[in-house]
Structure 1
């Protein structure tokens, strides 16, 4: 019997700063709000833009890296899988969630804070004294859930 493929690749900009949480076991869970925009021409030749918002979850070391280095507006490459979940609230209403579970993440664009935002640096004064030390982000890595990871640790 053949296996299925569940693969998602997104390139977009963060809509807000990462939301960091930790399981009782101390594993990091980073949630991102990622916007992807596609552009096409309609039958009249007018340009049409469509923005889709994605909720992305990064676990473990990958989540810690994302929480430390990513900021609102930053462009990022995400590779992972799609997961659908259902939750029944206290009011008895069923709520449905779609998450992207990231296996890989790569920061794109400028290396500064909020690297995806244009014009951000124009408002800042130029430093002419000693050069500022710049902390580079580590290279993208595969998600490492470790041996202490169990499905019970995931809050959804």
Structure 2
């Protein structure tokens, strides 16, 4: 049950091509964004689609696979954990970021 304490599963479309960073230790990280959509009908019966954007972080083997296999627009399913961090930007303003650290992903809707 411990693995359920911080578990995130998302299915959506990628909003960018993989952004790859390689660190001094030769450790690879890939950053992506994913859009998830939720549709509902309002009081007037009109269909409303609410889009949420999420930041994804891939490390190691998953980063290499994401770099090789994924591109903007792809539909993917991801599983990972939620992580929050903060940093100070170049203007001295403290910024807060929530990210999904991806453990596994699956490219959805692939033909053949």
TM-score by length of 2: 0.91
Q: Pairwise CA RMSD of aligned residues?
A: 1.8
Indicate the residue corresponding to 1:31 in structure 2.
31
Number of equivalent positions = 111
Indicate the residue corresponding to 2:9 in structure 1.
9
Q: CA deviation at 1:111?
A: 4.7
**SS of match in other structure, 2:109:** coil
* Equivalent residues in 2 for 1:4-153, closer than 5 Å: 5-111=5-111
User: Which of structure 1's runs of 4+ aligned residues deviate more than 6 A?
Assistant: none
Q: CA deviation at 1:109?
A: 1.2
Distance (whole Å) between structure 1 residues aligned to residue 82 and residue 26 of structure 2: 24
Measured against aligned partners, the alpha-carbon deviations of 1:1-24 in whole angstroms (never above 9, x if no partner) come to x96711110000111111111111
Uncovered stretches (5+) of structure 2, i.e. residues with no partner:
none
Measured against aligned partners, the alpha-carbon deviations of 1:75-128 in whole angstroms (never above 9, x if no partner) come to 10100111111112343211111111011111111259xxxxxxxxxxxxxxxx
Structure with higher RCO (Cα < 8 A, 6+ apart)? 2
Uncovered stretches (5+) of structure 1, i.e. residues with no partner:
113-156
TM-score by length of 1: 0.66
